[in-house]
Amino acid sequence: MATFEERIESMTQITISGSNTAPTQAQVTEFLNEGIRDFTNKIIVIRPDEAFKFAKETAVSDGNGTAVIGRLLSVVRENNSSTDVRPATPIPAGLRYLATDIESLSYRTKFNPCYYLLNSKVFVLPAPTDSDNQALISQIN
């Protein structure tokens, strides 16, 4: 099967090579990526229930946060088992310290986890640890 580059060249009769031609390989790659993003966004608008088909799930087993690469679809945290998964609710970043204070009304446990966004990262509380207490973050890639 022909590569995208070969197909574009055959359809347009334009040779793609190096950085001195128009379009360059980098530009063609960017055009294709933009097309994929546009297609994905249009499908999600038309059929929101299909959004998970375009999602990437990341397993997190530390408190360092995960980069936000797209729209968050779900954040869950395991509760001592990969089969007992609890949904995490969003909180304002300003409550992150109270969510870890055992004497606070905002305290969160593994039974009612939460997440917050800060500096383009998503953090889950209580902080994920090992393989049976990790967080699973689904987002549109």
118 and 93 inside one domain = yes
User: Residue type for 34, please?
Assistant: E
| Assigned token pair, 117 | 């966004």
115 and 88 inside one domain = yes
**Domain count along the chain:** 2
Structure confidence by residue, pLDDT tens digits, 2-55: 777 778 878 887 777 766 667 777 888 888 889 988 998 899 999 999 999 999
Q: Which domain holds residue 11?
A: 4-46
Cα distances from 49 to residues 72, 130, 139, in angstroms, run 14, 31, 14
- Residue 132 domain-assigned? yes
The pLDDT assigned to 128 comes to 94
82 and 135 inside one domain = yes
